[in-house]
């Protein structure tokens, strides 16, 4: 056969047929995707990705004058964190909507620019650079997790921009970038933030277990990300101090979907408590695979098991999820009375957009914007140093916590995350007792 390709009519026909077939299948698939109401794990998005502009901007209130104040941020809108990214995006959008409705900031409209960082830190760096240089962001917010926030802060520092972090609790961010970052859900009381309420609760477990046995051994399976290294540095010494023995601490690659080897190892060590579930999908998979392996230690803590679809049989874990402990960084999502300013508005708008109750990630994103808006108002100007001064000295009222005050490192002085548990397909706050809506159920009993 000669090495020259002859373009014949047959070849054209072949290609045309192929293209038509691909288009048909592709179009059908696309409409299948759009038209079908996906299960609760995937909330409906009303615009298709192709026509979505690169930035998500909120129509500004006609009554507001002046140059918009631009808040830029990145979220994982694609990739593994996409599920979380969408929730956060709604939180940001609703916040900006409300603030503009209420008269803007210093009479000026607030403009939100959100870009996708795919959940990877290197994208975060370049995206943050674009947000500052191209989109002309005055202030920054986002992203998802300490690792991404750290990467964004590196760039923010270069340009002298302030950042109100939505989801960051890892200590490295606050120590390395002191003065440039505040976080609406990180608590000054707790070095490792999310896990400390669990530790106090764990100490009290003996009062509920038969025979008064105190849990002693802990197995930890966490994702290999910055936050978990901070947890390792700060929480584990506290645990060991209190007499717990860490029988296993394995770091898993972020993208792992097969936890069974690690879980088999954990099961063989017979721990009293298992800790894991860094991201939502990891929490879901961990629990599902624990069920598969018949592994039910007396206490199961999956950090990000707070989403409503966790116990939904078709979407998450199913009834076996009942009994799983998790952190509730947005207490207002379970207890309406604990919602701070505009928490009810968030709930109502979120329900309209997503068909479910507002969860923690939307709550923290909402609050991050609130803090910024209030700080700018308090400073009376958008000058970075003045706003910085206001951020670290004034008192704010956010949906997450009515009394939001930051210490010198940018973590909240008065906020405490709460420990929660799935009971009867419902989220109950179980610790600390001043806020508890139900008693913790310990030990875990699998549903038959």
Partner 1 sequence: MDILTTAVQAFLNGIFEGSVYAILGLGLTLMFGVMRILNLASGALVISAAFLSYWLLQLLGIDPYLSIPIVLVSFFALGICIAKGVVEVSMSSPQYQIVGTVMVTYGLALLIENIEVIAWKANYRALTPPAYLPTSISIAGVMINTIRLSSLIITVAVAVGFTFLLKTRFGTAMRACTQNREMAGVMGVNYQSISAITFGIAAALGGIAGVLYGLTELVNPYSGMMLTIKGLTVAVLGGLGSFYGALLAGFVLGLAESFGVLFVSAAYKDLIGFVILIVILLLSPGGLSRKEFYTPT
Partner 2 sequence: MRSKGIYAHITRRSLVVIAISYAILATMQFFASPSIIAYAMLLLMYVALSQAYNLVSGYVGDLSFGHTAFFGVGAFTVALSEYYGFSHFSPVNVALGGVFAAFLAILIGFPFLRLKGTYFAIGSLALAEVMRIAFLNSDFTLSSRGIYIPIIEPYSRIPYYSAIVGISAAVTIIVYLIINSRLGITFIAIRDDPDVARVMGINVTLYRILSLTMSAFICGVVGGWFAYYNAYVYPNNVFNMTLSFELMVMTFFGGAGTILGPIIGAVIVLFAEEIGRTYILVGYPLILAILIMITFMFMPGGIIGTLTKSTPAVNPFSRLSRSRKGVDLAEHTGS
Closest CA to 328 of 424, 197, 220: 197
Q: In this structure, what DSSP letter does residue 187 have?
A: B
The reply on whether position 261 binds partner 1 by CB under 8 A is: yes
Work out the widest C-alpha separation in the chain, in whole angstroms: 85
Measured over the CA atoms of residue 303, residue 310, residue 85 and residue 138, the dihedral's sign is negative
The region of 152-160, 269-277, 356-364, 380-388 touching partner 2 under the rule CB under 8 A is 152-160
Q: Inter-axis angle of helices 226-241 and 196-204, to 10 degrees?
A: 30
List the one residue from 12, 38, 240, 395 that touches partner 1 (CB under 8 A): 38
- Return the residue of 185, 267, 341, 427 that touches partner 1, per CB under 8 A: 267
- As a whole number of Å, the end-to-end CA separation of the chain is 67
Q: Does 66 bind partner 1 (CB under 8 A)?
A: no
User: What does 448 bind: partner 2, partner 1, none (CB cut-off 5 to 8 Å by kind)?
Assistant: none
Question: Which stretch, 189-197, 206-214, 261-269, 370-378, contacts partner 1 (CB under 8 A)?
Answer: 261-269
133 binds, among partner 2, partner 1, none (CB under 5 to 8 A by kind): partner 2
| Residue 48 binding partner 1, by CB under 8 A | yes
Binding of partner 2 by 257 (CB under 8 A): no
- From residue 51 to residue 80, the character string flagging contacts with partner 2 as x (rule: CB under 8 A) and all else as - is -xxx----------------------xx--
Residue 79, CA atoms < 13 Å, CB-side half-sphere: 16
d(CA 154, CA 156): 6
Stretch that binds partner 1, among 32-40, 137-145, 333-341, 390-398 (CB under 8 A): 32-40
Q: Give me the least distance between CB of 56 and partner 2, in Å please.
A: 9
Among 159, 296, 392, 414, binds partner 2 (CB under 8 A): 159
H or E stretch at 419: strand 418-423
Place of tokens 């599902």: 288
E strand or H helix at 89: helix 82-101
Task: Let me know how many helices (H) and strands (E) the chain has, helices first.
Answer: 12, 14
Out of 14, 67, 158, 413, name the contact with partner 2 by CB under 8 A. 158
The answer to the question of residue 252 lying near partner 1 (CB under 8 A) is yes
Residue 306 contact, options partner 1, partner 2, none, Cβ 5-8 Å cut-off depending on partner type: none
Tell me if 42 contacts partner 2 by CB under 8 A: no
User: What's the half-sphere exposure (Cβ side, CA atoms, 13 Å) at 271?
Assistant: 23
Determine the Cα–Cα distance for residues 420 and 283; give it in Å rounded to an integer.
15
In 3D, which of 145, 89, 73, 118 has the Cα closest to residue 372? 73
Q: For the chain, state the CA radius of gyration.
A: 24
Tokens for 236? Answer: 């584990």
Binding mask 2-41 for partner 2 (x = CB under 8 A): -x--------------------------------------
Partner interacting with residue 14 (select from partner 2, partner 1, none; CB below 5-8 Å by kind): partner 1
Cβ proximity of 326 and 420 under 8 Å = yes
Total interface residues for partner 2 by CB under 8 A: 35
Q: Which is nearer to partner 1, 109 or 118 (CB)?
A: 118
Give the C-alpha separation, 428 to 193, whole Å.
19
Name which of partner 2, partner 1, none residue 83 binds, using a CB cut-off of 5 to 8 Å depending on partner kind: partner 1
- Partner interacting with residue 221 (select from partner 1, partner 2, none; CB below 5-8 Å by kind): partner 1
Residues 87 and 25: their CA atoms lie apart, in Å, by: 30
Question: Which of 269, 273, 271, 270 lies closest to 202 in space, CA to CA?
Answer: 273
Q: Please report which helix (H) or strand (E) contains residue 368, including its range.
A: helix 360-379
By CB under 8 A, name the binding residues for partner 2. 1, 3, 49-50, 52-54, 77-78, 116, 120-122, 125-126, 129-130, 133-134, 147, 150-151, 154, 157-160, 172, 176, 224-226, 229, 251, 253
By CB under 8 A, name the binding residues for partner 1. 3, 5, 14-15, 18, 21, 26, 29-30, 32-34, 36, 38-39, 41-42, 45, 48-50, 77-80, 82-83, 86, 221, 224, 250-253, 255-262, 264-265, 267-268, 270, 281, 284-285, 291-294, 314
């Amino acid at each position: 056969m000669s090495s020259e390709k002859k373009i014949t009519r047959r070849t054209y026909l072949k290609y045309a047929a192929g293209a038509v077939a691909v288009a048909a299948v592709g179009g059908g698939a696309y409409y299948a995707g759009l038209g079908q109401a996906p299960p609760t794990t995937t909330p409906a998005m009303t615009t298709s990705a192709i026509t979505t502009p690169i930035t998500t901007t909120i129509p500004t209130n006609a009554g507001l004058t002046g140059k918009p104040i631009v808040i830029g941020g990145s979220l994982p809108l694609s990739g593994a964190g996409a599920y979380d990214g969408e929730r956060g995006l709604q939180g940001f959008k609703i916040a900006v909507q409300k603030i503009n409705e209420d008269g803007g900031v210093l009479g000026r409209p607030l403009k939100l620019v959100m870009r996708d960082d795919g959940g990877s830190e290197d994208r975060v760096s370049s995206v943050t650079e674009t947000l500052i240089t191209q989109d002309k962001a005055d202030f920054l917010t986002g992203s998802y997790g300490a690792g991404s926030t750290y990467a964004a802060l590196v760039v923010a520092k270069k340009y002298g921009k302030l950042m109100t972090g939505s989801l960051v609790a890892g200590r490295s961010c606050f120590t390395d970038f002191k003065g440039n970052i505040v976080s609406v859900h990180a608590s000054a009381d707790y070095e490792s933030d999310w896990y400390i309420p669990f530790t106090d609760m764990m100490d009290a477990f003996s009062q509920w277990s038969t025979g008064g046995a105190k849990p002693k051994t802990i197995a930890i399976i966490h994702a290999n990300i910055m936050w978990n290294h901070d947890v390792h540095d700060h929480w584990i010494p506290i645990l060991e101090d209190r007499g717990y023995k860490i029988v296993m601490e394995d770091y898993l690659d972020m993208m792992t979907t097969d936890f069974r080897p690690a879980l088999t190892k954990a099961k063989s060590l017979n721990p009293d408590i298992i800790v894991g579930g860094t991201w939502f999908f990891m929490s879901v998979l961990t629990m599902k695979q624990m069920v598969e392996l018949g592994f039910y230690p007396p206490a199961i803590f999956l950090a990000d098991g707070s989403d409503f679809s966790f116990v939904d049989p078709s979407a998450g874990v199913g009834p076996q999820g009942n009994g799983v402990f998790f952190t509730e960084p947005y207490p207002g999502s379970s207890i309406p009375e604990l919602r701070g300013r505009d928490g009810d508005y968030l709930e109502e708008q979120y329900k309209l957009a997503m068909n479910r109750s507002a969860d923690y990630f939307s709550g923290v994103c909402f609050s991050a914007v609130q803090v910024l808006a209030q700080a700018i108002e308090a400073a009376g100007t958008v000058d970075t140093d003045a706003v910085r001064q206001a951020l670290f000295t004034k008192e704010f009222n956010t949906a997450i916590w009515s009394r939001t005050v930051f210490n010198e490192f940018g973590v909240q002085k008065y906020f405490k995350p709460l420990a929660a548990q799935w009971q009867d397909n419902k989220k109950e706050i179980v610790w600390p007792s001043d806020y508890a809506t139900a008693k913790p159920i310990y030990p875990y009993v699998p549903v038959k």
